[in-house]
Amino acid sequence: MRIGIIGAGLAGLTAARGLAEAGYAVILFDKARGPGGRMSTRRTETAQGMAFFDHGAQYFTVRDAGFAETVERWEADGVAARWAAAGDNAWVGTPGMNAIIKAEAAAHDVRWNCRIERIVREGASWRFEHDAGSESFDTAIVAVPAEQVAPLLASHAPEWAALAEATVSQPCWTVMASFAERVDFGPDCLRNAGTIGWAARNSAKPGRTGPESWVVQGSPAWSAAHLEDEADSVIAALVADLAAATGVALPETLIVQAHRWRYALSGAAGRTMLWDEGSRLGVSGDWLIGPRIESAWASGRALAAAVAA
Ligand code: FAD
């Protein structure tokens, strides 16, 4: 039984782990050049060495007992650690958020830089079409953000495509700034300060090296209102707001850049996963449950259990 998974974020990789443990042959495809998905970490050279920014998810919390076991394994493997600055139950990947995705991906055959353009039903098989050709599988799993589901599934599972289309994500403008000196502000993070939804001293997270580095996220409402703005004006606005929110004069910047996430925090479709035994087609992703890392894990795990059953 060959299973093809589109999307090697945490949902796809968690499904892959469960299915590989159940004895299936799994191949994952991801359009990105490397591991991360929305748990990405960006490296940027500065005059004071390499700066690192978790520019997607900032940290995660743990509620489910099964997820707690997984996080214990990540901690034992050195790819996750608690980050008390964000709360008692806050965890991050180490040395970057993407370390978790890298570690999970290492166990599987993942084809990076490979966007699946469409999937085609051929007899009892699913053919995945990409730039370099195509491959066929007995089972197809789609583990991509809600907004990217419909183009793949509209002609095979229109009701699922409609559910995904109705589950709208919020955007997030993210500014990444490294400074020549420490920003003279006591706490390592702040929430909901005017136009800022969240800002954190990324370089204070466990296991980080490099210069003083901050990640500043516009609130969902501000990001939506400024979605089509130029990066330069977003940088100017959010850096000024960081100065205002911390109440300090910011040191000289070594580097400052911005990233626009059109689909950052998912909606919540009120499901856990989608699985059709007849056609052997499945869907997982945070958006089925809600906009959290734990949701992506829970959805992937539930789908693997359904497929294996
Ligand atoms: P993704 O990580 O998006 O993975 C989907 C993968 O599918 C991607 O790697 C993509 O490249 C790939 N893909 C898409 N289409 C195709 C295609 N056609 N072919 C091949 N590959 C494809 N969560 C928290 O718990 N705490 C937070 O603080 C937090 N903050 C966040 C802040 C931001 C700015 C963002 C962006 C997200 C945040 N999240 C947070 C949400 C969290 O990152 C997600 O819930 C989780 O990472 C989703 O995992 P996923 O596997 O469902 O999707």
ipTM: 0.99
Testing ligand 1's pocket by substitution, the residue of 129, 144, 262 carrying the most ligand atoms inside 8 A of its CB is 144
145 lines ligand 1 (CB under 6 A): yes
Find out whether 92 and 80 touch, Cβ atoms under 8 Å: yes
Q: From ligand 1's centre to the CA of 11, what distance in Å?
A: 8
> Quick one: pLDDT at residue 10?
98
pTM of the model: 0.97
60 lines ligand 1 (CB under 6 A): yes
153 lines ligand 1 (CB under 6 A): no
Tokens representing 117 are 């353009």
261 lines ligand 1 (CB under 6 A): yes
Q: Whose CA is nearest to atom 31 of ligand 1?
A: 57
> Quick one: pLDDT at residue 247?
96
264 lines ligand 1 (CB under 6 A): yes
d(Cα 122, Cα 233) in Å, to the nearest integer? 49
> Quick one: pLDDT at residue 1?
87
| Residue ranges of the chain whose pLDDT lies below 70 | none
Domains, the chain, in order of start with CATH, read 1-31+114-168+267-309 (3.50.50.60), 170-265 (3.90.660.10)
Classify 255 in phi/psi space as left (phi over 0), alpha (psi -120 to 50) or beta. Answer: beta
pLDDT in tens, 249-299: 999 999 999 999 999 999 999 999 999 999 999 999 999 999 999 999 999
> Quick one: pLDDT at residue 4?
98
Continuous segment of H or E residues that includes residue 214: strand 212-218
> Quick one: pLDDT at residue 76?
98
